[in-house]
Amino acid sequence: MSKIAVVYWSGTGNTETMANAVVKGAKDKGAETELFTASNFSADMADNFDGIAFGCPSMGTEELEESEFEPMFSAVKGKLNGKKIVLFGSYGWGDGEWMRNWEDDCKECGAVLGAESVICNDAPDDDIIEKCETLGAVLA
């Protein structure tokens, strides 16, 4: 059985909804799954998981949330070489540049992106929820 972490930051609840769908998808495939907010996850914990799903909305000028998520993610990046991960998040403006930049950053640190990242404008609809469940299943 694989062990999966779902780590997210959410300001409006949209990315949290997506995170819960990722958890459901992983659990439905039999994975042991733990849900963490960014402030409750650290680099030391990364080695305890076979795969990690990271969720963060676009903030500011299409950047990761800078007070909790970005510092946590920067600390964890050194543990991602060869680790299977997936990314998800919501946005309210722009065109998803933050996700493309984030994917590039993950590839540069050697992470293995297990599936196409999932982004949504504002609240996730049924299609996005299904895609998030698929992210969880891919990690499982």
Q: Which amino acid is at 64?
A: L
Is residue 1's pLDDT more than 80?
A: no
Per-residue pLDDT tens digits for 72-98? 999 999 999 999 999 999 998 888 899
Q: Distance between CA atoms of 102 and 33, rounded to whole angstroms?
A: 23
Per-residue pLDDT tens digits for 41-70? 999 999 999 999 999 999 988 899 999 999
Per-residue pLDDT tens digits for 106-116? 999 999 999 99
CA distances from 13 to 17, 31, 37, 112, 118 (A): 6, 24, 12, 27, 16
Global confidence as pTM: 0.97
